Amino acid sequence: MSWFFFQRSRRVPPLFRRYLSYEQKYQDKIRRLAEERGVAVSELMAKVKQEQRQENKPPIAPSPSGAGRKDSSPVKPLSSLLNLTRITATPHTSEQISALWTVFHESRSNGTGRGYVCASIPLGLYSKMAAKAAKYPMFVVPLKRGEKEEAAHEFYLLQWSFHDPPPPPLQDDLFSPPTRSQPSTPTVPVSTVMFTPLQEYKSRTTFATPYLVLTNYTDLAESHNTVLLHGELTPSAAVPGAPAADERYLLPQNDALRLTTSVQNFYLDASPDREKLLKAFHETPAEFDWTELLKHAI
């Protein structure tokens, strides 16, 4: 082996042979070019070789932190909130996942949890809710302003959107066998629910700013029978000049909780009266009874 190495080392490498031939053939031109640039021939050749190496340099591979499958969905991935790799590496019950989810949100905003809402939804209930939302993706939700019987109301436009199922979480070691709790490729679509003041939507339509956005993450729906709801209130800084209802946010924390509850009231635990309102809003809007809607204000 050593003999073969020395035999090879005595040979002129092909690349170096090409370089010598190139230099001999164009020696005069190289010298003139060096004189025009005011540099030595050796310096010019060194610069040319450096430029060639730079051109032939392979693209830099992405760092491990940025590696993984990219999803075209506009929704922030659940992996940006929870360490899914660690969660799926060891068995966790749905109750443990729910507890982790709650603790994570309670730790936000310096431990106050302000600006966020969360919930853990069993897959069966989420599927029922999503099926109705696919049929009735928009609605108007009234919030009471005051305790009096004839209190004023503020209306919020509720809008559902559905997105592609998330990609499965990646393991640290791609060659290790999947763990028992490792989820297969999810098939349940992710969904978002946006709440925008109706007056804001009327004046700015598609440019209106939602005050609350709920995201239903389905990454663990099939493996842990749990859909994780994550809600974020819009910071007041996002809308210059807008009044801050809760110091830092466009919506008070209590209003965010009430709007989140309205999703359950109309899309999951809907009474016949609420079901009728949903249907009329989409199928017979001329018959929609706003007075009846106020009876269901929170």
Q: Are residues 40 and 149 in the same domain?
A: no
Q: What pLDDT sits at residue 237?
A: 80
- Verify that 86 and 218 share a domain, yes or no: yes
Question: Both 47 and 110 in a single domain?
Answer: no
- Left (φ > 0), alpha (ψ -120 to 50) or beta: where does 109 sit? left
- pLDDT at residue 267, rounded to an integer: 97
Query: Do residues 151 and 145 lie in contact, with contact meaning Cβ atoms separated by under 8 Å?
Result: yes
In this prediction, residue 29 carries a pLDDT of 56
Higher-scoring residue by pLDDT: 35, 37: 35
Residue 249 maps to a domain: yes
* Residue 67 within any structural domain of the chain: no
Averaged pLDDT score across all residues of the chain:
79
Structural domain of 97:
81-294
What is the band of 242 on the pLDDT scale with cuts at 50, 70, 90?
A: low
136 touches 158 (CB < 8 A): no
Query: Which of residues 56, 73, 89 is at a domain's end?
Result: 56
Kindly state whether residue 63 falls inside one of the protein's structural domains: no
Task: Let me know whether 90 and 48 are in one domain.
Answer: no
Model confidence, pTM: 0.70
With CA atoms as reference, report the closest residue to 120 among 274, 227, 16. 227
Q: What is the mean pLDDT of residues 280-289?
A: 96
4-8, 17-21, 37-41, 47-51: segment of lowest average pLDDT = 4-8
> Which residues have CB under 8 Å from 139's CB, separation 6+?
157, 158, 266, 277, 278, 281
Same domain as 23, residue 125: no
22, 40, 56: which is the final residue of a domain?
56
CA 242 vs CA 106, 142, 251: distances in Å = 27, 21, 11
Residues 95 and 195 in one domain: yes
The predicted-structure confidence for 144-164, as pLDDT tens digits, reads as follows 987 766 779 999 999 999 999
In this structure, is residue 138 part of a structural domain?
Answer: yes
Please give the tally of structural domains in the chain.
2
Does 92 fall in a domain? yes
- Please give the DSSP secondary-structure letter assigned to residue 235: B
Q: Is residue 183 part of a domain?
A: yes
Query: 245 and 280: one domain?
Result: yes
Statement to judge: residues 50 and 86 lie in one domain: no
Same domain, 38 and 165: no
**Is 212 a member of any domain?**
yes
Statement to judge: residues 6 and 100 lie in one domain: no
Give the tens place of pLDDT for each residue, 168-222: 665 444 344 444 445 456 689 999 999 999 999 999 988 999 999 999 999 999 9
Query: Do 145 and 152 touch, CB atoms closer than 8 A?
Result: yes
pLDDT band at 50 (very low <50, low <70, confident <90, very high): low
Same domain membership, residue 34 and residue 92 = no
Whether 258 and 203 share a structural domain: yes
Within-domain flag for 76: no
